[in-house]
Amino acid sequence: MKNFIHKVILTTFSSMLFLSLSLKAQVSFHVSGTPTKHQIEDVPRLLENMLEENPDKDIFFYVHGRSRTLEKELRRSKQIEENYNVKVLMLHWESWSSTITRPTDNAKNAGLELSKAITYLKMFKDKHAEVFEDKKLFVLFHSMGNLILKSYVENHFNEQLNEKFFDAVILNAPDTPYKSHRDWLKKVFLSENSFVIMNKNDFVLNASKLLDINFRHMFDDRLGLGIKFYFHHEKILSPNVLYFDLTKTSGGEHAHFVSQRPEVKKIFNYILAAKSNPDKSEFIFSEPTINPIEDLDPYKVIKNVYYFKD
């Protein structure tokens, strides 16, 4: 009997230990598409090195989406650098489980590491305030990487970071639930210029939606597939972001920020021309510092949703 009880206790402890370890996010950081893995504690040093070695280039913080290999995202980081003349710091997370599953728990668990990284980025910009009068700092969350942002907002949000210190925050093709997205997105106060990039024909997001078809999720949709105006605007839209709908200019594309389509490239170059206003520090909704109606000529505008075509 004692042996049996001992075995039960040991099994229970082992299960708890396994669960604890599995909940710990496996996150690493990579600079300029290099495979060398760095930990969160290395981020301040990495940022200092990026500034010293490339004082004339803006910094682009990239949080990737569901991806089978690290190598794919390293190549994409290099592509971002080549397209926009920036230096990339990438947050890499365990974003693959299988072909028919979405590692949502891994994304949720990475929210804490994102919170730490954002804190380091804020400290870095404050330390080099004079440099950033002419230099820019961007962040882009791609696809399921937006689940990490959602987890950060819902579970690890730091109210001390109430300054909008990123020059632009980009939610590209968010593979997050469409329903009630306003509830968490309206709390993202990281920039005066925040964008949600959408495409109704996005092949990857439509496939992702199919993975969740069961009795519990069969009516779920993805934010990256566009806005559905079934109810009052104020109940749907987050007032602190601009929604860009690229359905008529992106085909079935998903990674819009590395698109070779002229109109899409024009839109992203426009976004990365944004600059935060250091004199505007109130922690409330504010108008973006750029005007897409004047500069990009969308063919339709509904509230803060802008529709583009070739």
pLDDT tens digit string along 102-156? Answer: 899 999 999 999 999 999 999 999 999 999 999 999 999 999 999 999 999 999 9
Integer Cα distance of 117 and 161 in angstroms: 12
CATH code, 42: 3.40.50
Q: How far apart are CA 2 and CA 92, in angstroms?
A: 46
Q: Report if residue 11 sits inside a domain.
A: no
Beta carbons of 107 and 47 less than 8 angstroms apart: no
Query: How are beta strands 86-93 and 27-31 bridged, if at all?
Result: antiparallel
Give the model's pLDDT for residue 142.
98
Position 261 confidence tier, pLDDT thresholds 50, 70, 90: very high
Domain limits at 217? Answer: 24-280+290-309
Could you give the C-alpha distances from 61 to 37, 43, 240, 283, in angstroms and in order? Answer: 16, 11, 20, 23
Q: How far apart are CA 177 and CA 187, in angstroms?
A: 16
Strands 168-172 and 86-93: unpaired
Cα distance between residue 190 and residue 65, in whole Å:
20
Is residue 276 domain-resident?
yes
| Lookup result for tokens 């935060």 | 276
13 occurs within a structural domain: no
Is 19 contained in some domain?
no
Residue 10 has pLDDT above 50, yes or no: no
285 lies in some domain: no
Tell me whether residue 272 is in a domain.
Answer: yes
Confidence of residue 221 (pLDDT cuts 50, 70, 90): confident
Q: Are strands 194-198 and 242-248 parallel, antiparallel or unpaired?
A: parallel
Residue 239 located in a structural domain: yes
Would you say residue 15 lies in a domain?
A: no
* Lowest-confidence pick of 2-6, 70-74, 141-145: 2-6
- Does the global pTM surpass 0.75? yes
Count of domains in the chain?
1
